[in-house]
Amino acid sequence: MSFLNKEICDGDNPDLTEERRTATFDTDRMAQVIYGSEKFAARRRQITKSISRIPALQDTKPLAFMTREEKITEACRELDVLSDHWEQLIYVNDEEEALHLHREVIGMEGHPFALHETMFIPTLVSQASDEQQEKWLGRARKREIIGCYAQTELGHGSNLRKLETTATYSPSTQEFILHTPTITALKWWPGALGKSSNYAIVMADLVIKNKSYGPHPFIVQLRDEKTHQPLPGITVGDIGPKMAFNGADNGFLGFDHFRIPRGNLLMRHNRVEPDGSYLKPPHAKIGYSSMVKVRSRMAMDQGLFMAQALVIAVRYSAVRRQGFLEDKSQEVKVLDYQTQQHRLFPSIARVYAFIFCGLETIQLYEKLILDVNKNGDTSGMADLHSLTSGLKSVVTHFTGQGIEQARMACGGHGYSMASYISEIYGVAVAGCTYEGENMVMLLQCARALVKAVELVEEGHPEKLSPMMAYLTKPSVTVDLTVGPEAYVKIFQLIAKKQAFKATEQLHKFMVAGDSRDVAWNKSAVELTKASRLHTRLYILKTFIRRVESITDISVKAALTDLLNLHLNYELLDVASYALADGIMSSTQMDFIKNQLYSSLEKIRPNAVSLMDSFQFSDLQLRSVLGRRDGHVYQNLFEWAKSSPLNQSEVLPSVTQYLKPMMEKSKL
């Protein structure tokens, strides 16, 4: 059966058209699985079509040739055009549609509303009282004001309990006095803080009558709403260029005894009364919920970053010809090499795995916020925190690796900014740091794991959450030919062994006299290994669950091939644990390898369509190599010609220096 869409393929590179003809499934149907519903997948296509009809939103100068100022200005111009068409393009207040619109039109290099949408509004939703929402949420949603999330400081990021910015309550004036006592207390890094935002959620240490209550969120006006000048008592600016994200004005911020009304402490869960008495929240870490929200989105967002790099690399690999196999009359598509497939296909599988996980964790967060806001039920917080802490660390790490492999798979052209892969890499790997440095977050996940192991050791397995239940599974011999469940069993044994070993090591140091903190640090590497295995097991199980639930037979078959590749690749990747503990034999290892190689062959005919199914427009991809039409060489030449260096034949550097130098040499 052919699923070739004639309309789209006419005029495309015939090599790509051939790939699309061999697909065994319908890419629209696959898109429904990727984006979670038929409705959203269709809306995405509709939005893309509407964008393509607005001339002011089409390509201008390539981003690679722009300065930072030009990138920021261009993003703002696009935002302005979008705001004129907002209601005709998307359903107002639909977060997913808004994200898609921004991703496609503005891209990934940052823009003034990125933190407004992803952290400022969500913090108001989860932390502001009804009365406070009445005052600010509507204005924020209408974009009358622009907000960001200012938490990290020059000297403090990971350790929130040591934030230095203070918010000292003054009962006589019923105000909080925000202050930056030292240079290390300057807020540093918040996206869109430097030049764009006029409001911020500021995390500061709440101090009442000389007692510190730890970090709390405050809404703070930073700039005059008419002039956009910083208010007196506020120092604010841009922190300078970064590895990527240079369309964003990450900023610094200092307060000089800056006063805000009592009502600016976000008070949905805690309160400071006029006399200064403090009502504590139902859960000590409820003020951290915006970070949990972003972490819960990261499996999806990172999956989409890696997907963009792989669309580019896979399409290019189907067009690029180098060397020969049997037929010596025509060079072979590089995608036919087993090494190229081994470089790219496991990452395709991870993209799907991460996205399926992301769909689940986004829903888990939504449910948690409903439970907390409607019923004051915070019982799901600990589990979601440990899950998303592990997940953000694992997905960002593998996404970075996958994107870098995609770049190398494009040979020299991958290194050119025409591929756009270097930019995707720079943006994606920021995720290893933001929302919690990966090691720090793996150690948060490990806290939950150690607690669970201790429960088992203390004879209380019934108290384990479902995610930890595998820690009670007995060792068994597993026949891998049975299917995915057998792989899960082996993975469970590996993850369980490592969790127990790491906990045992921790306890051993404590028994020898170390404090828990010191023993923890001496066991930290082993603990992070346990967290990674635990998280990868979760990802694997989500992938299996999702594939099992699919009803479209051809889509399910294609994803089953991908799932098999994932199972074999993951198990092979952690085989050293299994071999060391005698969980797997070398014969089983050979079986896994053979399964892996045969999965590569099965996936080969569907590779391009598996990536086409993400339905990224050329506008969103911003890649000369990855365009849907596959006319790589013509487009590369056009792109190079548009380089500012090629706008004149003789550059000033030549007339000013090289020519005189050469002339001098002739004398």
Token pair, residue 188, equals: 């540093």
Q: Which of residues 240-259 bind ligand FAD (CB under 6 A)?
A: 245, 250
Q: Is 35 in the site for ligand FAD (CB under 6 A)?
A: no
d(CA 542, CA 571): 16
Question: Is 435 a residue of the active site?
Answer: yes
Q: Which residues from 354-383 bind ligand FAD, rule CB under 6 A?
A: none
Number of residues that bind ligand FAD (CB under 6 A): 20
The binder of ligand FAD chosen from 107, 190, 390, 402 (CB under 6 A):
190
Q: Does 199 bind ligand FAD (CB under 6 A)?
A: no
Q: Which residues contact 149 (CB under 8 A, 6 or more apart)?
A: 115, 119, 120, 123, 190, 191, 200, 201, 290
DSSP helix/strand/coil, 265: strand
Which one of residues 9, 35, 74, 110 is an interface residue with ligand LIQOTWCQ (CB under 6 A)? 110
> How many beta carbons lie within 10 A of that of residue 97, not counting itself?
18
Q: Is 189 in the site for ligand FAD (CB under 6 A)?
A: yes
**Are 128 and 268 within 8 A, CB to CB?**
yes
Q: Name the minimum Å distance from CB 283 to ligand LIQOTWCQ.
A: 7
CB of 409 to ligand FAD, least distance (A): 26
Binding-site residue ranges: 152, 191
3-state helix, strand, coil in the chain (%, to 5): 60, 10, 30
**Cβ proximity to ligand FAD, 152 vs 560, nearer residue:** 152
Q: CB-wise, 440 or 654, nearer to ligand LIQOTWCQ?
A: 440
When CB distances are held under 5 to 8 angstroms depending on the partner's kind, the choice from ligand FAD, ligand LIQOTWCQ, none that residue 414 binds is none
Stretch 443-462 residues interacting with ligand FAD (CB under 6 A): 443
Shortest Cβ 435–ligand FAD spacing (Å): 6
Three-state SS for 412?
helix
434 near ligand LIQOTWCQ, rule: CB under 6 A: yes
Quick note: the x/- pattern for ligand LIQOTWCQ over 374-413, rule CB under 6 A, is -------xx--x----------------------------
Chain CA centroid to CA 217, Å? 24
The answer to whether residue 285 forms part of the interface with ligand LIQOTWCQ (CB under 6 A) is yes
Interface residue with ligand FAD among 3, 169, 365, 434 (CB under 6 A) is 434
Among 104, 205, 435, 612, binds ligand LIQOTWCQ (CB under 6 A): 435
Q: Are strands 211-221 and 199-208 parallel, antiparallel or unpaired?
A: antiparallel
Can you read off the two tokens belonging to residue 487? 């792989």
Q: Which is nearer to ligand LIQOTWCQ, 418 or 446 (CB)?
A: 446
User: Could you give phi then psi for residue 205, rounded to 5 degrees?
Assistant: -75, 115
Residue 199, H or E segment: strand 199-208
Between 106 and 562, name the residue whose CB sits nearer to ligand LIQOTWCQ.
106
Q: Which of 481, 449, 469 is nearest to 564 (CA)?
A: 481
Fill in the DSSP letter of residue 236.
E
Candidates 77, 67, 420, 436; CA nearest to 246 is 67
439 binds, among ligand FAD, ligand LIQOTWCQ, none (CB under 5 to 8 A by kind): ligand FAD
Helix (H) or strand (E) holding 347: helix 338-375
Cβ contacts of 235 within 8 Å, gap of 6 or more: 252, 253, 254, 255, 256
- Where do the H-state alpha helices sit in 512-606? 516-522, 524-548, 553-573, 575-580, 586-603
According to CB under 6 A, which one of 82, 430, 452, 624 is a site residue for ligand FAD?
A: 430
Q: Single out the residue of 287, 436, 626, 630 in contact with ligand FAD (rule: CB under 6 A).
A: 436
**Among the listed residues 300, 446, 350, 366, the one whose alpha carbon sits nearest the alpha carbon of residue 125:** 366
Per DSSP, 149 falls in state E
Catalytic residue among 435, 485, 526, 638: 435
- Decide: 306 and 399 in contact? Cβ < 8 Å: yes
- Determine how many CB atoms are found less than 10 A away from the CB of residue 210: 6
Stretch that binds ligand FAD, among 148-156, 557-565, 593-601, 648-656 (CB under 6 A): 148-156
Q: Which contiguous run of DSSP H or E holds residue 212?
A: strand 211-221
Footprint of ligand FAD (CB under 6 A): 115, 149-152, 157-158, 189-191, 245, 250, 430, 433-434, 436-437, 439-440, 443
Footprint of ligand LIQOTWCQ (CB under 6 A): 99, 102-103, 108, 110, 114-115, 118, 149, 151-152, 158-161, 191, 248, 285, 288, 291-292, 294, 297, 301, 381-382, 385, 434-436, 440, 444, 447
Which positions are annotated as active-site residues? 435
